């Protein structure tokens, strides 16, 4: 029998859910029974402006379809407003079970031309935003012994993309945040994973070219909804989803070259072992910094 995924009694927060990808997640979580906080300050792709319309229209869609949702217009960028998003969930629905950190903006510029303001604006929404929302949510999840986080990264952060030093740094930072929440949340059944989506939204409409028609944001949704579910078996992982393809990104580590205990090799000696240092024929996927220390310990022995 096929397993079904329901979210009855679950409370979900989706940031940046007034359009694009976040709207898809919010609609589906609500359709499957979750009570949803639809957070969005309703600004432009660059982060300017603001309107209640974006969040309100998604709440209307959910309610019209028979679901439960409440709008939140707070920005994720400040600790106080991040806390208010969580407070909205608690006041309206009693708790928080699921947080999808999805809010995002773009301020693309080649690095030589990028201003400090463009760096701050992007770090504030993506990285500090996720921290601001996750921190109060984590405390509640820890107390209740249950939680699901999905953080939105990007191939621009995991792999790099021209003109996105601010965005790439923020998006890679989200992988670090998720990994630590996964480790700290382990014994409380708090699972934390990362999605790296590819989809045609207002954020990417000028970037995707001929592929755009094949990249419906709805296609990213099932992966995120799975990761939000009680049945989700994974934590500390990164998934790519876009255009109907679902895949895993991972950080692997090979055995490397061991110079020997308490030895400082010369640069010349090290340079003779670069192939072993870089070889990826065999590798592990460590799940914490302790794993790497253990790997080193094995070589000492
Ligand atoms: N579309 C893609 O191919 C793609 C690829 C990689 C990553 N992403 C990421 O996916 C997420 C969703 O992007 P999207 O493509 O749906 O674009 P989008 O512009 O449609 O969605 C982003 C939403 O975040 C909201 N937002 C911006 N700043 C906010 C703030 N301070 N507080 C609350 N809400 C805020 C916006 O109003 C907007 O509705 C972003 O984090 C983006 O970086 C998208």
Res 30: pLDDT: 98
* Averaged pLDDT, 138-146: 98
Contacts of 76 (CB under 8 A, 6+ apart): 15, 16, 39, 82, 85, 101, 103, 125, 128, 129, 130, 132, 133
C-beta neighbour count of 6 within 10 angstroms: 12
Q: Helix (H, G, I), strand (E, B), or coil: what is residue 40? A: coil
Task: Answer yes or no: do 274 and 290 share one domain.
Answer: yes
Task: Answer yes or no: do 21 and 53 share one domain.
Answer: yes
* Averaged pLDDT, 87-114: 98
* Averaged pLDDT, 81-104: 98
Task: Answer yes or no: do 73 and 171 share one domain.
Answer: yes
Task: Answer yes or no: do 163 and 194 share one domain.
Answer: yes
Active site residue 146: no
Q: Is the pLDDT of residue 301 over 90?
A: no
- DSSP type of residue 109: B
Res 16: pLDDT: 98
CA distances from 119 to 33, 55, 105, 127, 130 (A): 38, 26, 11, 11, 16
The H or E element containing residue 227 is helix 221-228
Q: How far is the CA of 102 from the centre of ligand 1 (A)?
A: 6
Confirm whether 20 is domain-assigned.
Answer: yes
Task: Answer yes or no: do 110 and 217 share one domain.
Answer: yes
Confirm whether 83 is domain-assigned.
Answer: yes
Paired strand residues for 151: 101, 194
Res 233: pLDDT: 95
Contacts of 47 (CB under 8 A, 6+ apart): 105, 107, 121, 125
Contact between 180 and 186 under an 8 Å Cβ cutoff? The reply is: no
Confirm whether 153 is domain-assigned.
Answer: yes
222 in the Ramachandran plot: left (φ > 0), alpha (ψ -120 to 50) or beta?
Answer: alpha
* Exposure on the CB side of residue 131, measured as CA atoms within 13 A: 16
Paired strand residues for 190: 147
Pair of tokens at residue 250: 């991972």
43 in ligand 1 pocket by Cβ < 6 Å? yes
Q: Could you identify the atom of ligand 1 that is nearest to the CA of residue 103? A: 24
Task: Answer yes or no: do 238 and 127 share one domain.
Answer: yes
Task: Answer yes or no: do 170 and 84 share one domain.
Answer: yes
Task: Answer yes or no: do 220 and 194 share one domain.
Answer: yes
Confirm whether 263 is domain-assigned.
Answer: yes
| Residue in the structure block whose two tokens are 């309703």 | 42
Which residue CA neighbors atom 38 of ligand 1 most closely? 16
Confirm whether 262 is domain-assigned.
Answer: yes
Task: Answer yes or no: do 190 and 274 share one domain.
Answer: no
Paired strand residues for 70: 37
Confirm whether 68 is domain-assigned.
Answer: yes
Ligand 1 mutation pick, 21, 55, 211, 244, max ligand atoms within 8 A of CB = 21
Burial environment of residue 161 by CB neighbours within 10 A (0 to 12, 13 to 18, 19 or more) = middle
Pair of tokens at residue 87: 């407070």
Kindly report the CATH number assigned to the domain that includes residue 113. 3.40.50.720
The closest of 257, 250, 240 to 296, measured between CA atoms, is: 257
Q: Helix (H, G, I), strand (E, B), or coil: what is residue 110? A: coil
Task: Answer yes or no: do 289 and 238 share one domain.
Answer: no
* Averaged pLDDT, 94-110: 98
Confirm whether 203 is domain-assigned.
Answer: yes
124 in ligand 1 pocket by Cβ < 6 Å? no
Ligand 1 mutation pick, 201, 223, 244, max ligand atoms within 8 A of CB = 201
**Which of 249, 274, 289 is a domain's end point?**
249
Pair of tokens at residue 194: 């990362």
- DSSP type of residue 239: E
Q: Which domain covers residue 281, as residue numbers?
A: 253-300
Q: Helix (H, G, I), strand (E, B), or coil: what is residue 224? A: helix
C-beta neighbour count of 291 within 10 angstroms: 13
pLDDT digits (tens, 9 = 90+) for 30-54: 999 999 999 999 998 889 888 999 9
Which residue CA neighbors atom 14 of ligand 1 most closely? 20
Q: Is the pLDDT of residue 11 over 90?
A: yes
pLDDT digits (tens, 9 = 90+) for 17-32: 999 999 999 999 999 9
Task: Answer yes or no: do 30 and 66 share one domain.
Answer: yes
Confirm whether 85 is domain-assigned.
Answer: yes
Paired strand residues for 241: 197, 246
pTM, entire model: 0.97
Q: How many domains does the chain fold into? A: 2
Decide the pairing of beta strands 98-101 and 147-152: parallel
Q: DSSP letter string over 160-211? A: --TTBHHHHHHHHHHHHHHHHHHHHHGGGTEEEEEEEEE--STTTTTT-GGG
Task: Answer yes or no: do 76 and 149 share one domain.
Answer: yes
């Amino acid at each position: 029998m096929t397993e079904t995924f329901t979210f009855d009694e679950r409370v979900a927060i989706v940031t940046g859910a007034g359009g694009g990808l976040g709207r898809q997640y919010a609609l589906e979580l609500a359709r499957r029974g979750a009570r949803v906080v639809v957070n969005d300050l309703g600004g432009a792709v660059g982060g300017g402006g603001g309107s209640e319309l974006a969040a309100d229209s998604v709440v209307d869609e959910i309610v019209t379809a028979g679901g439960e949702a409440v709008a939140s217009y707070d920005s994720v960028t400040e600790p106080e407003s991040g806390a208010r998003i969580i407070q909205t969930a608690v006041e309206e629905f009693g708790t928080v079970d699921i947080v999808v950190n999805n809010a995002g903006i773009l301020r693309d510029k080649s690095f030589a031309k990028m201003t400090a303001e463009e760096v701050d604006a992007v770090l504030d929404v993506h990285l500090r935003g996720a921290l601001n929302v996750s921190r109060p949510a984590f405390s509640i999840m820890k107390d209740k012994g249950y939680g699901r986080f999905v953080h939105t990264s990007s191939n621009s952060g995991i792999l790099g993309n021209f003109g996105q030093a601010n965005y790439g740094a923020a998006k890679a930072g989200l992988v670090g945040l998720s990994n630590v929440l996964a480790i700290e949340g382990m014994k409380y059944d708090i699972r934390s994973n990362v999605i790296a989506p590819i989809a045609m939204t207002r954020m990417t409409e000028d970037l995707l070219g001929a592929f755009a028609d094949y990249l419906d944001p709805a296609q990213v949704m099932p992966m995120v909804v799975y990761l939000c579910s009680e049945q989700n078996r994974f934590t500390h992982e990164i998934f790519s989803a876009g255009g109907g393809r679902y895949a895993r990104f991972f950080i692997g580590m090979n055995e490397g070259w061991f110079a020997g205990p308490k030895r400082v090799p010369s640069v010349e000696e090290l340079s003779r072992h670069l192939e072993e240092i870089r070889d990826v024929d065999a590798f592990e996927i460590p799940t914490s910094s302790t794993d790497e220390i253990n790997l080193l310990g094995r070589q000492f022995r």
